[in-house]
């Protein structure tokens, strides 16, 4: 909430409102009107600042949309670097298609007729971002190791099927076990296994969307 919105939501002090209009407004006739307090002047002040507040809100939304669009463009540019594997190249093509879809949906947000429609569009955009993120991981792995990542192990597949809360609890228990083993309170030969399982769980958690 910007300072004009705060003013509109509060007691709408006249002197403070005039100061805000002097900062954000540029209509000489209104500035002259506001020089002499009156009920009419106060009403016009509220109208003028309400209009400015809406303009600021739209500007903030446009800036956010521009940042998100740039993020998608950067994502596609990242995927386009050093691709010499057919599978990775197909990921690049898919990402570009997803970028086009996300850009189109992003442009439709401002035309959504209600919150439900806007929410549905936002979820579609988020799903596209999730897919792009998976592409990043594949490409980064390929660039580092020269081959595609191996499929998940049976244990990892089982862990992926668990709820986030269960995985978080398992992670905390593993951290405690590792700490106890290092302190000599548990068998140290299990540390490597616990560390590998912890890393696997943390990788799965990083790929999930936290629940509210």
User: Over the stretch 23-74, which tens digit does the pLDDT of each residue have?
Assistant: 888 888 998 999 999 999 999 999 999 998 888 887 777 777 777 777 766 6
Q: Which of 31, 63, 95 is the last residue of a domain?
A: 63
- What would the pLDDT profile of 175-189 be if each residue is shown by its tens digit? 888 888 888 877 777
> Does 170 lie in the same domain as 143?
no
> Does 48 lie in the same domain as 15?
yes
In the block, residue with structure tokens 């005039």: 18
Q: What is the pLDDT of residue 74?
A: 66
Q: What share of the chain has pLDDT > 70, as a percent?
A: 90
The token duo for 28 is 């000489």
68 in a domain, yes or no?
A: no
Q: Is the pTM of this model over 0.85?
A: no
74 in a domain, yes or no?
A: no
> Does 47 lie in the same domain as 13?
yes
> Does 143 lie in the same domain as 158?
no
> Does 87 lie in the same domain as 99?
yes
Q: Which of 131, 150, 169 is the last residue of a domain?
A: 150
The token duo for 189 is 């030969």
71 in a domain, yes or no?
A: no
> Does 158 lie in the same domain as 145?
no
> Does 109 lie in the same domain as 93?
yes
- Residue 212 scores a pLDDT above 50: no
> Does 54 lie in the same domain as 41?
yes
> Does 181 lie in the same domain as 145?
no
How many domains does the chain divide into? 3
> Does 56 lie in the same domain as 86?
no
- What would the pLDDT profile of 186-208 be if each residue is shown by its tens digit? 777 788 888 888 888 888 888 77
> Does 136 lie in the same domain as 167?
no
d(CA 22, CA 30): 10
> Does 59 lie in the same domain as 12?
yes
| DSSP per-residue string spanning 18-71 | HHHHHHH---HHHHHHHTS--HHHHHHHHHHHHHHHHHHHHHHHHHHHHHHHHH
Parent domain of 143: 80-150
75 in a domain, yes or no?
A: no
């Amino acid at each position: 909430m910007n300072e004009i919105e705060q003013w509109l939501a509060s007691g709408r002090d006249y002197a403070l409102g005039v100061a805000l209009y002097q900062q954000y407004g540029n209509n000489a006739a209104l500035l002259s009107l506001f020089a002499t307090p009156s009920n009419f002047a106060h009403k016009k002040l509220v109208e003028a600042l309400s209009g400015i507040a809406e303009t600021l809100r739209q500007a903030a939304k446009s800036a956010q949309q521009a940042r998100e669009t740039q993020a998608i463009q950067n994502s596609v540019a990242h995927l386009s670097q050093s691709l010499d594997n057919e599978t990775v190249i197909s990921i690049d093509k898919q990402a570009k298609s997803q970028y086009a879809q996300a850009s189109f949906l992003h442009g439709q947000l401002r035309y959504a007729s209600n919150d439900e429609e806007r929410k549905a569009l936002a979820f579609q955009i988020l799903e596209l971002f999730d897919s792009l993120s998976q592409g990043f991981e594949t490409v980064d792995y390929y660039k580092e190791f020269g081959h595609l990542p191996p499929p998940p192990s049976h244990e990892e597949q089982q862990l992926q099927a668990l709820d986030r809360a269960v995985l978080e609890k398992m992670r905390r228990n593993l951290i405690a076990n590792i700490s106890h083993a290092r302190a000599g309170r548990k068998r140290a030969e299990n540390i490597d296994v616990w560390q590998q399982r912890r890393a696997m769980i943390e990788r799965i958690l990083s790929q999930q969307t936290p629940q509210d």
